[in-house]
Structures are given as structure tokens and as C-alpha cells.
Structure 1
Amino acid sequence: MHADHVHATAGPPGAWTALRGPSARPRPARPSGAAPARGTAGRGPGTGGPPRGRLPGGQGGLRALHARARRAWDRPLTAYYLILGGSLLITVLGLVMVYSASQIKALQNGLAPTYFFRKQLLAAAIGTALLLVAARLPVKVLRALAYPLLAVSAFLLVLVQVPGIGETINGNTNWISLGGPFQAQPSEFAKLALVLWGADLLARKQHKKLLTQWKHLLVPLVPVTFVLLGLIMVGGDMGTTVVLTFVLFGLLWVAGAPTRLFAGVIGVTGALAVLFIKTSANRMSRLDCIGATDPGANDQCWQAVHGIYALANGGWFGAGLGASVEKWGELPEPHTDFIFAITGEELGLAGTLSVLALFAALGYAGIRVAGRTEDPFVRYAAGAVTTWITAQAVVNIGAVLGLLPIAGVPLPLFSYGGSALLPTMFAIGLLIAFARDEPGARAALAMRQPGVRWKTMRRRVKKRPSGER
């Protein structure tokens, strides 16, 4: 075999460019039997020097690894797999932690140890069906559902306040009994309604080129959102109003609202929030518990402090699954609002960082879907869903860490609660559907179907003469 053939086939295609940069040129082939050039002796394979084409100190290998990671990250299906895999892992880990954190609570209430876990598992099964349906629904159907869903959500929010229909839990009247042990929280479905309705409204206004006027950005989006916020606040649910406000901000931000207009909406919302907090002693006490290290005279910061205790007990790798101490009656709501604290106690810092990484990947994928699509409705809906999930996760985790006041919102896909899990999984299905429509994603998925790639390759192969290899 000739030397020029050796140089032409050594290494994968493009390896030289990846290692040495685009300006590098291959060296001319050395005639067979010629002596090596000055300074190159001992650099070939088996001579003890670094392999040809690799920079000293492993810089070339790191550069090639970085290039491969960039190519993998920029593939059309990256967002699709991040959303699908990230949401699946969060849900499965949440089921495990609900089972671990809720057993003592169930026994204290005279129930079977698996009571809360079985309800959450049922909700996850129904949510999975909703996710699959949402991932297959066309955009036209989603836009057609926007107004009916908004009207039904508003009606249910009014129905909650009717005596004899609404139920009060932990001081908040936000529940409707469905019979037996099942309740529904309409405010959770209002988040999904606002996402679809707001995205459809802004997309239609963009089609008519009306979003350049500030009044079309605000009306009727902001007034309708404030009506939903008022109906929720009548029941006393401050946490859901905060998340719904973030969804409004996400829609305005993706729609390209001017900074002055955006700041004005934030100012008005902030003033209303201060008013609601000042007029409630319970909400004022929650502000006092930010960063608290002592339960206080009346144990008003008991939950916040014991959440920190649970995280501190976990250490690096946790006490072990099921070995939490705080869930034995010390930490209220260990399977709902403060399940992240139990996760830190049983799985340690490694477990909590894993949960944070999964939410970060989910947030990145949602932003990527919103940024790459050409459909205005998809862009607004993806941006609003991403804002909803990430903002709610930040509010929940921030409260557990003592950085934010306790708002009473569950950790999305993770905490116990079917009313929160069902609309969230439907929203995840929307993100999966949108990610499949990214440029090149649908073609890449078609190529991954069984038999498609092999048939495509067979069509591309030319017939060769008999005996040719």
C-alpha cells in the first residue's frame, strides 16, 4: 500500500480540521523509504511521542470533544429529548419521593401507608394520557380550545366560592369536591387556560400587525388576567396568583413589549401584591420567616426552619431513601410544598442538584423551542409554558431554601397533587409537540423509525458489477 493512500485514509473525515482548525493543511506525502524530516523523528506511533494531529497537553482532544458536544447540542432533536426525558425523570423521581415522604403522614391520618402514593400514581397515569393527547393535537385544535377552556376555568373559579360547593383546605377556599377522596383545584387549570388563550390572542394580533401599539399589547390580555387573579385571591391562594402573574410577564416578554410598558405592568402588579400582603397578618408573618433559623416565639417559622433542618441533615449524599427524620411529624406538608426538603434529607446535595439540573434542562429546551419556531402561537405558548414551570419551581425551591416566603405552591411534576400534575403534564405535551416541529426535527424523527433508514440507504446504493467489492 502506498504512503499517499495511508495519509488519505488515516483518521475520520474532518478530524484534521477539528483538531487543528480550518486553516490547517495536510502535509504532503513522504516518498516510501525517505528519511523523516528534521524535528519529526520519534513522533510516529510506537515511538513514545504524541500522536500525529493531537496538540500538546491534550488541547486537541478537548477541542475535538467540545466540537462534538456542540454538534450534538445543536441537533434538531435535542430539545425534544430534553423535554421528554427531563419531564419523565422528574415525574418518576417525584413518585418515588411522594411514596417515601407521605407514608408517615398517611399513618397519622389513619390511612394506608400507600394512600397518597396510589392517588399520585393514578394522577400520573391520567396525566401521561393527557400528555400523549396534547403531543398529537394540531395547533388549530389547540387554538380552538383556548376560549372554551378560559370560560370553563373562570366559571369554576366562581363556583368555588359558592357555599356548599367549595372546600377550604389550610385556610384557602380553592377546591371543589369530586366525590370521595378526590378534589379539584380550578386555579391550576386556569394556568393552562391563560397560556393557550394568551398565546392565541397575541398570535392573532401579530397576524394583523397590531402588537406595535401598546393598547393592543395590554388589552384585553392584562384585564382578563387580573380578573383571574382576583377570583383566585378571593380564595386566599397567593402562591397561584404569583405564578399566574409570571405567566402574564412571560407572554408580554415574548411578545416584545417595550421596557417602559413592561416596567409599568410590573409596577402595578407589585403595588397590588404589597396591598394584599399588608392586609393579611398570615402573609406578613411569612415574610418574617425568610432566612429564619429559629421557629420563633409562637412557632410561626416552624415549617421554614425545619425545611432547612431537613436539608442540613442530608449532607452530600443523604441519609438514604426512606430514612428522613423530619417527615416523622416535624415538617408539615412533607409530600407537597416541602417535598424538596425531604429529597435533600434522603438523597443529599447530589439529589437536589439532580432535580435542579433536570428543571434547568427543561427550561433551556422550552426557551430553545420558543426561539426557533416561526409560528407565533407556538412561540408564545412555548414561552408561557416554560415561564410557568420554571417560575413555579423557583418559587417552591426558594421557599424551601429560606430565600423566598412560603407561597404554598407545589414543585411541578414532583410534588403530590393531581390537580397540579394533570395540567402540567398536558403543558409538557404541548412542548413535546412544538419541539417535534422544530426545523429538521420531524425529518430526523422519521429517519429513526424502524426500517426507514435501511430502506433509504438501499435506495441510495448503486448496483455494482458482479464480483466488485
Structure 2
Amino acid sequence: MTARSAKAASPRPARRPSTGRPPRGGRVLGGPRRLYVQAKRAWDRPLTAYYLVLGGSLLLIVLGLVMVYSASQIKALQYGLAPSYFFRKQLLAAVLGGGLMLVAARMPVRLHRMLAYPLLAGSVFLMCLVQVPGIGVAVNGNQNWLNLGGAFQMQPSEFGKLALVLWGADLLARKHDKKLLAQWKHLLVPLIPVAFLLLGLIMLGGDMGTAVILTAVLFGLLWLAGAPTRLFVGVLSVAGVVAALLIKTSANRMSRLACIGATDPGPSDQCWQAVHGIYALASGGFFGSGLGASMEKWGELPEPHTDFIFAIAGEELGLAGTLSVLALFAALGYAGIRVAGRTEDPFVRYAAGGVTTWIMVQAMINIGAVLGLLPIAGVPLPLFSFGGSALLPTMFAVGLLIAFARDEPAARAALAMRQPVFGRKPAGVRWKSMRRRVKKRPSGER
């Protein structure tokens, strides 16, 4: 036998079993791609929206408490109060709001729908009380507060936002089930008249900022309900004309409109607040001057712990801090859109979309005013600014998003497989990981 035939007759060496690892030459190119695939897979997990809503909202609340304490000390001393006065009130509101958020997150959807009509009726009643002399209180020229005794006040229009979201979502869901939303009269009535009632009560007190947010919630509900483009544009045009008339007939609103993009306070200092908000942001740099080291809060910037707390955050935490706040709001908005887009329940879709529209539009109006891109509307930054009346309903609305994110079938299955933190384990079951349960084997078996 020749050497060639012997070589041909010899068996081929066995192929090495695959280990699942990429070849050495492809590790450099496969590394970023593998990370991208893993990140995309993690982003598409069932509990992503749940964690984004819960984590993003809690981080905003905690960071807001820190900034309220830092921004309000000088203002409290100017009023002859303890430096931590506003912080203590905000902390109390956050604790109460945490209870509301937990209750809302644990309530079934059926109970959320049952709250719609009582909450709407209560909000309308309280907003009517605001206009009663001796009961309603005017703050900064707006008659939209109720005195609860002592240092506690309440703004019923903040609860009107939550009432419109729940009631509007329940109304549209009922009509969706009866297949009535294809008719424009069922789409508009009674949603538009009730929304105009709330807007009228708000505008009686002169609070146009809250009215704009309520209008945005109304348009969000109409958009989610599938309103025809011509109907949507028609309602939007009517609202734009009414808003233009309200601005034109008010010297205060016209002066605020003139301060958009201002770099000088003006001869009568009418743009003082807007300009000093820009000064605060500009002096912060990338990492800020340090927590508590703001100069603008020493009497230069009005409302440093409420409407313009974002400017103080920019001065003390810098661009890095403000971008972090924007990223948290972006994560919260994405999670709300994801919850609304993945559900099959029409009420959940409308309510989640309404809450997301409310929080995102209010954040854009507040931040846009601080940046000089929008007129100052006098609305707080959600979950961040001082104000218990704004924090309580907003935290309840966040609890709604958490409940809706938990209610997805895939999310329920994923939560059911998690190891319980409190309580007893099921009998005969030994938890081996977050995802797998292993039956306990008999004694002596291997």
C-alpha cells in the first residue's frame, strides 16, 4: 500500500465539540454586537416597563426632596421659618403619596374604574368652593387654592387632572366596548362638555398653566380613541383661538409671552425671573457648583423651590444633573407609552396614555419655561417641585402605571416566578434561582 493510499484510508480526526463561544478572530467584532443583543433582550423583558416606572419615579421623588431642601432654606429663613420647613412638608407629602401610590399599584383595574365618577364629582365640588369668598385663597394672583387650616392649603385643580384621566378613560372604554367611537357625537359628548366645565372652573381662578395641561390630556384621550384628523384639528383650532384671546386680553400673560428668550430683565424687570433662571443654568457648568452652593436662591430667583427648581438643580448639579433628570422623565414617558401600546384593555390604554400625556406635557412646560423656550406658566415640575397638592395626585397616577405594567400577562408570569421577600415558601419547594423552582428531593437521593 502506498503512502498516499494509506493517508487516504486513515480515518479523519473527530471534530472538536462546539463550546458556544465565538472564534478568536471574531471576538473583537462580536463583542459590541453581543452586548447590543443582550441589551435589546433585557430591554424587551416583560418587567422592563414596571421597573422603569417604579425606579424612575422613586429616583425623581428622592432627588426632588434633596433639591427642595437645598433650594428652600433661604426662602424659609426669609419668612422667619426653620430652614427645613418646606422640606418637612414635602417629606410628609411624599410619605402620604407613597401610600397612595402603593394602594393604586395594588388595586385591580375594576376598582380604578369605580373611582372615576366619585373623583370627578369631588373635584368639581372643590373647584367650585375655590370661588366662594372666604374659602378660596389667591396665591400669586390665581384664585385656585383652598385653605385647610394652619399652613396647609390644597389646589383642587391638580386633582381635576387625575379625575379627567380616570373618568375620560372609563367613558371612552365603555363606548369602545359598544363600538360607538366611530360616531363623532359619541366621541365628543359628554367628554368635551365635561372637560370644558373643568377648564372653565380653572380659568375662573386665572390658572392658564393648569388649563393648558388639562387641554393636553383631553387631546391625548381623543388621539388614543382614534379621533378623525379633521375632528382633531377642529377641536385644536378652537382651543388655539380661545387661548389666543385669553392671552391677548391679559397684560400679565402678554408680558410672560414677551419674556421668551429674554437675556435682559428689561426696564421694569418684567423678565427678572426668566433671565435669572438662565443665569442659574449658565453658572452651573458641567458638574455644578455643588449641592447647597447656589447663589441665585439667595433672593435673586423667585420661586426657587417650586416653579424654578430645575434652574437651581442646574446651578448646583450642573449639566450632568439636569440631563439625569431629563433621562428619568424620558424613561418614565417611554414606559407609559409602552404600557399603553401593549395592552388589550381599552381602559388601561386610555388611562396610561392620559397619565403619560399629563406628566410629560407638564414637565415640558416647566422645563421649557426655565430654559426660556416657553412662557412661564406657573406649573411645578412633576414629582420634583415643592407642593403636596401636585405631588399626591401625581404619585397616585404613577401607581396607576405600575398597576397597569404589572397587569400584563407576561409581567404577571414573571412576577409569579420571583422569590418572595416576605412570607413563607410553598411547601415542598426549594428556591434555587429567581427564575426556577426545584422540587425538594427525598432524603438520601442524589
Change (3 A) 1:52 1:204: same
Task: Find the residue that maps to 1:410 and give its secondary structure.
Answer: coil
Change (3 A) 1:295 1:7: same
1:326 correspondence with 2:296: yes
Which whole-Å CA distance do the structure 1 matches of 2:130 and 2:343 have between them?
A: 38
Which amino acid in the other structure matches residue 51 of structure 1? Answer: R
> In the alignment, what sits opposite 1:187?
157
Which amino acid in the other structure matches residue 136 of structure 2? Answer: G
1:232 correspondence with 2:205: no
> In the alignment, what sits opposite 2:9?
none
Which amino acid in the other structure matches residue 206 of structure 1? Answer: H
* 1:354, distance to aligned residue in structure 2 (A): 0.1
Change (3 A) 1:178 1:66: same
1:343 correspondence with 2:313: yes
* 1:51, distance to aligned residue in structure 2 (A): 1.1
Of residues 48, 54, 68, the one that matches 1:78 is 48
1:284 correspondence with 2:254: yes
> In the alignment, what sits opposite 1:268?
238
Which whole-Å CA distance do the structure 2 matches of 1:307 and 1:437 have between them?
A: 42
Which whole-Å CA distance do the structure 1 matches of 2:312 and 2:56 have between them?
A: 20
Aligned residues: 424
1:398 correspondence with 2:368: yes
> In the alignment, what sits opposite 2:17?
7
Of residues 410, 413, 417, the one that matches 2:383 is 413
Which whole-Å CA distance do the structure 1 matches of 2:441 and 2:380 have between them?
A: 59
The TM-score with structure 2 as length reference comes to 0.92
* 1:140, distance to aligned residue in structure 2 (A): 1.2
Give structure 1 stretches of 5+ with no counterpart: 17-49
> In the alignment, what sits opposite 2:96?
126
Describe the superposition over 1:419-456 as per-residue Cα deviations: whole angstroms up to 9, x where unpaired.
Answer: 00000000000000000012310111111123575395
> In the alignment, what sits opposite 1:33?
none
Which amino acid in the other structure matches residue 197 of structure 2? Answer: V
1:51 correspondence with 2:21: no
Which whole-Å CA distance do the structure 2 matches of 1:157 and 1:436 have between them?
A: 33
1:188-203 aligned at under 5 Å gives the runs 188-203=158-173
Which whole-Å CA distance do the structure 2 matches of 1:458 and 1:241 have between them?
A: 56
Which whole-Å CA distance do the structure 2 matches of 1:283 and 1:132 have between them?
A: 39
Which whole-Å CA distance do the structure 2 matches of 1:199 and 1:146 have between them?
A: 9
Which whole-Å CA distance do the structure 1 matches of 2:29 and 2:135 have between them?
A: 68
Task: Find the residue that maps to 2:115 and give its secondary structure.
Answer: helix
Task: Find the residue that maps to 1:7 and give its secondary structure.
Answer: coil
Which whole-Å CA distance do the structure 1 matches of 2:160 and 2:374 have between them?
A: 24
> In the alignment, what sits opposite 1:150?
120
Which whole-Å CA distance do the structure 2 matches of 1:156 and 1:350 have between them?
A: 41
> In the alignment, what sits opposite 2:323?
353
1:103 correspondence with 2:73: yes
> In the alignment, what sits opposite 1:366?
336
1:381 correspondence with 2:351: yes
Which amino acid in the other structure matches residue 184 of structure 2? Answer: W
Give the 4+ runs in structure 1 shifted more than 4 A.
2-6
Task: Find the residue that maps to 1:429 and give its secondary structure.
Answer: helix
Which whole-Å CA distance do the structure 1 matches of 2:280 and 2:16 have between them?
A: 63
Which amino acid in the other structure matches residue 457 of structure 1? Answer: R
> In the alignment, what sits opposite 1:29?
none
Of residues 438, 442, 445, the one that matches 2:415 is 445
Which whole-Å CA distance do the structure 1 matches of 2:413 and 2:375 have between them?
A: 46
* 1:462, distance to aligned residue in structure 2 (A): 9.1
Task: Find the residue that maps to 1:361 and give its secondary structure.
Answer: helix
Which amino acid in the other structure matches residue 7 of structure 1? Answer: P
* 1:62, distance to aligned residue in structure 2 (A): 1.2
Change (3 A) 1:5 1:441: farther
Which whole-Å CA distance do the structure 2 matches of 1:175 and 1:5 have between them?
A: 80
Which whole-Å CA distance do the structure 2 matches of 1:294 and 1:217 have between them?
A: 47
Which whole-Å CA distance do the structure 2 matches of 1:108 and 1:218 have between them?
A: 49
Describe the superposition over 1:199-233 as per-residue Cα deviations: whole angstroms up to 9, x where unpaired.
Answer: 00000000000011111111111111011001000
> In the alignment, what sits opposite 1:245?
215
Which whole-Å CA distance do the structure 2 matches of 1:6 and 1:447 have between them?
A: 37
> In the alignment, what sits opposite 1:220?
190
Which amino acid in the other structure matches residue 271 of structure 2? Answer: C
Which whole-Å CA distance do the structure 1 matches of 2:13 and 2:176 have between them?
A: 63
Which amino acid in the other structure matches residue 72 of structure 1? Answer: A
Which whole-Å CA distance do the structure 1 matches of 2:263 and 2:240 have between them?
A: 28
Moved more, 360-369 or 223-232: 223-232
Moved more, 142-151 or 357-366: 142-151
> In the alignment, what sits opposite 1:432?
402
Which amino acid in the other structure matches residue 286 of structure 2? Answer: W
The TM-score with structure 1 as length reference comes to 0.88
Which whole-Å CA distance do the structure 1 matches of 2:206 and 2:298 have between them?
A: 28
Which whole-Å CA distance do the structure 2 matches of 1:435 and 1:6 have between them?
A: 46
Change (3 A) 1:52 1:412: same
> In the alignment, what sits opposite 1:27?
none
1:133-172 aligned at under 5 Å gives the runs 133-172=103-142
Which whole-Å CA distance do the structure 2 matches of 1:396 and 1:387 have between them?
A: 14
Moved more, 281-290 or 214-223: 214-223
Change (3 A) 1:167 1:53: same
1:24-63 aligned at under 5 Å gives the runs 51-54=24-27, 58-63=28-33
Of residues 396, 414, 432, the one that matches 1:454 is 432
